């Protein structure tokens, strides 16, 4: 049980690193995953996303809270406990983030994480359906499709945005992110395309790569200031697995800091409360937790105008049969086929609000997801100011960590959400919506004042499932990892997942995590970095 590299977590980053590090036949790699197989029709069919989210067998079952600024509410946090990690259960939305996100990382001292340095790795990981150019890749493992967006309510969303004075950007993952757009997705030939499919499955034929599933990692074994392996729990037994070179944590923004703390790496005061012997002081482990908090805005429309008209009992049977036979039709869609990155105020350089549009209205009734005629916006803060933390509940590895995002601790965040609701109402008030616009269901037209909208937000604020920042990368002494993702306080440990983001990106996190994994794989293998790109990008005037 000795390997050169031991990777913890077979998610968006772990599958990529397992593939890249095992390309050398002389290097042995072990990939350890707490969950099981990613095989199954529901996991592969994009339209089955709501059922995947409700499947408790393939998730960690975490909840954040009690949230102090949301009247003590707790919020469900979807995290994949399965081969492929969250890339096997997420909404498949492909958004890289804004180029300014990465340039901000560089300005904070991480000079080789600028957009020019990151763009070649975005291009390396993808095959974009519209073809390669200066911004897009054409021969990478991850297939990226452009949504068809041919339902009339998608068109109304785009036309209403134009009438409100916003531009439609032809490729929000290219030169310009800001504006309205037709969405792009991790969907290939009608199937969900996770990193398990794109990277791990082709690599499994290599004899030097082993995948150990349904095995929980209890801790990293640290001796004389260096990681020498991991302790795992598998089928009731505990055993040690040795790493000759490195242990690489790819367990996500909740589990990676939890494992560091369980291993004795963290804030000495917090560790002592749980009787954990200190191995290395790293006070920021678990801190700097960020997310994209948001709310759903919902409207009614006529039955025949909503996508619900195609989801009757007969429609669902047709959808399933067509997808099984051809991998086409509604079954091949995640339904999030249009969106927008917009600014609610002029004093920010970046779009501070993200919108994802659905041509139906959904809510939970008696624990089940119900769709009714209508349309809705999921609207979230792309750059919130509030910060939270991940801490230990106990020294037991089987106990979930304590997760508190501290949403709305910043008054600016609350004001931006209030302004975002008013912006969404402006979009829907345009003439492009006149044929379809029905009653505003949530928050409802009776909610007009700031106080009304604040009550609605606090009662309904949810999560985009984008935790990050808990093992922050930086050049300062307090940062948990350096620019090569190496844990500063302990030798031979790296962290490669969203937890190392020094600041959350403007958009969904999967694409940026994959880029980071590709980039750090070259660092681990001591390969020359890809040459920086000279492609320009849109900067806010």
Q: Is residue 439 part of a domain?
A: yes
> Is 466 considered catalytic here?
yes
pLDDT for 37 beyond 80:
yes
Q: What pLDDT score does 8 carry?
A: 98
Q: What is the percent of the chain where pLDDT is above 70? A: 100
Are 473 and 352 found together in one domain? no
Are 205 and 89 found together in one domain? yes
Q: What pLDDT score does 537 carry?
A: 97
Are 276 and 347 found together in one domain? no
Q: Which domain holds residue 326?
A: 148-182+293-383+409-460
The chain-wide mean pLDDT, for the chain, equals 97
175-201 tens-digit pLDDT: 999 999 999 999 999 999 999 999 999
Contacts 24+ apart (CB under 8 A), 455-461: 456/295, 456/421, 457/295, 457/408, 457/414, 457/417, 457/418, 457/421, 458/69, 458/70, 458/71, 458/408, 459/71, 460/295, 460/296, 461/70, 461/73, 461/75, 461/293, 461/294, 461/295, 461/407, 461/408, 461/417
DSSP string over 477-521: TT-SB-TT-BBSSSBTEEE-SGGG-SS--SS-SHHHHHHHHHHHH
Q: Which of 117, 151, 407, 466 is catalytic?
A: 466
Are 103 and 225 found together in one domain? yes
Q: How many CB atoms neighbour CB 215 within 10 A?
A: 19
Q: Is residue 356 part of a domain?
A: yes
What's the total number of domains in the chain?
2
Mean pLDDT of 15-30: 98
107-150 tens-digit pLDDT: 999 999 999 999 999 999 999 999 999 999 999 999 999 999 99
Mean pLDDT of 531-536: 98
Q: What pLDDT score does 497 carry?
A: 98
Are the C-beta atoms of 83 and 449 separated by less than 8 Å?
no
Q: Is residue 27 part of a domain?
A: yes
pLDDT for 307 beyond 90:
yes
Q: What pLDDT score does 370 carry?
A: 85
CA 178 – CA 173 distance, rounded (Å): 10
Q: Is residue 532 part of a domain?
A: no
370-395 tens-digit pLDDT: 889 999 999 999 999 999 999 999 99
Domain-ending residue, one of 460, 481, 496: 460
pLDDT for 235 beyond 90:
no
Domain-ending residue, one of 460, 478, 503: 460
CATH of the domain at 310: 3.30.410.40
Are 93 and 116 found together in one domain? yes
Judge residue 390's burial from the number of C-beta atoms within 10 Å of its C-beta, 0-12 exposed, 13-18 middle, 19 or more buried.
buried
Mean pLDDT of 100-113: 98
Q: Is residue 171 part of a domain?
A: yes
CATH of the domain at 275: 3.50.50.60
Q: What pLDDT score does 159 carry?
A: 98
Are 51 and 176 found together in one domain? no
Q: What pLDDT score does 364 carry?
A: 74
Q: What pLDDT score does 101 carry?
A: 98
Of 213, 211, 190, the residue nearest 199 (C-alpha): 211
Mean pLDDT of 405-412: 98
H-assigned helices in 295-432: 313-326, 411-428
Q: What pLDDT score does 152 carry?
A: 97
Are the C-beta atoms of 31 and 18 separated by less than 8 Å?
yes
Q: What is the percent of the chain where pLDDT is above 90? A: 96
Are 15 and 116 found together in one domain? yes
Are 98 and 220 found together in one domain? yes
Q: Is residue 143 part of a domain?
A: no
Q: What pLDDT score does 330 carry?
A: 96
Are 106 and 17 found together in one domain? yes
pLDDT for 369 beyond 90:
no
Are 36 and 90 found together in one domain? yes
Are 251 and 375 found together in one domain? no
Cα–Cα distance list, 243 to 18, 70, 264, 430, 525 (Å):
14, 44, 18, 60, 16
pLDDT for 89 beyond 90:
yes
Q: What pLDDT score does 77 carry?
A: 95
Q: What pLDDT score does 232 carry?
A: 97
CA 163 – CA 504 distance, rounded (Å): 31
Q: Is residue 187 part of a domain?
A: no
Q: Are strands 2-8 and 29-32 parallel, antiparallel or unpaired?
A: parallel
Q: Is residue 285 part of a domain?
A: yes
Q: How many CB atoms neighbour CB 283 within 10 A?
A: 14
Q: List the beta strands (DSSP E) in 352-410.
A: 353-358, 361-365, 368-372, 374-381, 389-391, 402-404
Tell me the pLDDT band of 1, cut-offs 50, 70 and 90.
confident
Are 244 and 278 found together in one domain? yes
Lowest-pLDDT choice from 9-18, 143-152, 235-244, 480-489:
235-244
pLDDT for 474 beyond 80:
yes
Q: What pLDDT score does 479 carry?
A: 98
pLDDT for 365 beyond 90:
no
């Amino acid at each position: 049980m000795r390997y050169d590299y031991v990777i913890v977590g077979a998610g968006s980053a772990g599958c990529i690193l397992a593939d890249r590090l095992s390309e050398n036949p002389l290097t042995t790699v072990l990939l350890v995953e707490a969950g099981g197989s990613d095989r199954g029709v529901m996991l592969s069919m994009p339209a089955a996303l709501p059922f995947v989210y409700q499947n408790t067998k393939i998730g960690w079952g975490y909840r954040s809270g009690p949230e102090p600024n949301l009247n003590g509410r707790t919020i469900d946090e979807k995290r994949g406990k399965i081969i492929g990690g969250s890339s096997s259960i997420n909404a498949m939305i492909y958004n890289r983030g804004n180029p300014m996100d990465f340039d901000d990382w560089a300005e904070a001292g991480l000079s080789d994480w600028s957009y020019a340095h990151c763009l070649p790795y975005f291009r390396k990981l993808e095959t974009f359906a519209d073809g390669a150019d200066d911004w897009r890749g054409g021969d990478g493992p991850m297939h990226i499709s452009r949504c068809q967006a041919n339902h009339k309510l998608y068109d109304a969303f785009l036309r209403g945005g134009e009438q409100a004075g916003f531009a439609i950007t032809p490729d929000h993952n290219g030169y310009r992110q800001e504006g309205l757009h037709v969405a792009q997705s991790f969907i290939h030939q009608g199937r969900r395309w996770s990193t398990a499919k794109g990277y791990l499955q082709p690599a499994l034929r290599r004899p030097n790569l082993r995948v150990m599933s349904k095995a929980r990692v209890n801790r990293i074994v640290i001796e004389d200031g260096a990681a020498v392996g991991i302790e795992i729990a598998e089928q009731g037994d505990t055993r040690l697995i040795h790493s000759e070179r490195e242990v690489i944590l790819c367990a996500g923004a909740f589990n990676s800091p939890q494992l560091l703390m369980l291993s004795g790496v963290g804030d000495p005061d917090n560790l002592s409360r749980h009787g954990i012997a200190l191995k290395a002081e790293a006070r920021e482990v678990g801190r700097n937790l960020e997310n994209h908090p948001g709310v759903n805005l919902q409207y009614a429309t006529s039955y025949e105008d909503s996508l619900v008209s195609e989801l009757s009992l007969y429609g669902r049977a047709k959808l399933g049969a067509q997808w099984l036979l051809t991998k086409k039709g509604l079954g091949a869609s995640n339904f999030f086929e249009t969106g927008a990155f917009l600014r609610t105020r002029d004093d920010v350089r970046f779009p501070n609000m993200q919108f994802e549009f659905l041509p139906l209205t959904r809510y939970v009734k008696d624990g089940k997801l119900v769709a009714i005629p209508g349309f809705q916006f999921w609207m979230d803060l792309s750059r919130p100011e509030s910060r939270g933390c991940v801490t230990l509940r106990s020294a037991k590895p089987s106990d979930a960590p304590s997760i508190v995002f501290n949403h709305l601790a910043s008054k600016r965040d609350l004001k931006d959400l209030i302004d975002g609701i008013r912006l969404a109402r402006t979009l829907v008030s345009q003439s492009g919506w006149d044929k379809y616009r029905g009653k505003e269901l949530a928050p409802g037209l009776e909610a007009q004042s700031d106080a009304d909208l604040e009550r609605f937000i606090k009662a309904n604020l949810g999560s985009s499932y984008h935790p990050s920042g808990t093992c922050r990368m930086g050049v300062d002494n307090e940062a948990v990892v350096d620019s090569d993702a190496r844990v500063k306080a302990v030798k031979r440990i790296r962290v490669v997942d969203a937890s190392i983001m020094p600041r959350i990106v403007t958009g969904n996190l999967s694409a940026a995590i994959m880029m980071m994994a590709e980039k750090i794989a070259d660092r681990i293998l001591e390969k020359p970095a890809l040459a920086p790109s000279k492609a320009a990008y849109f900067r806010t005037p």
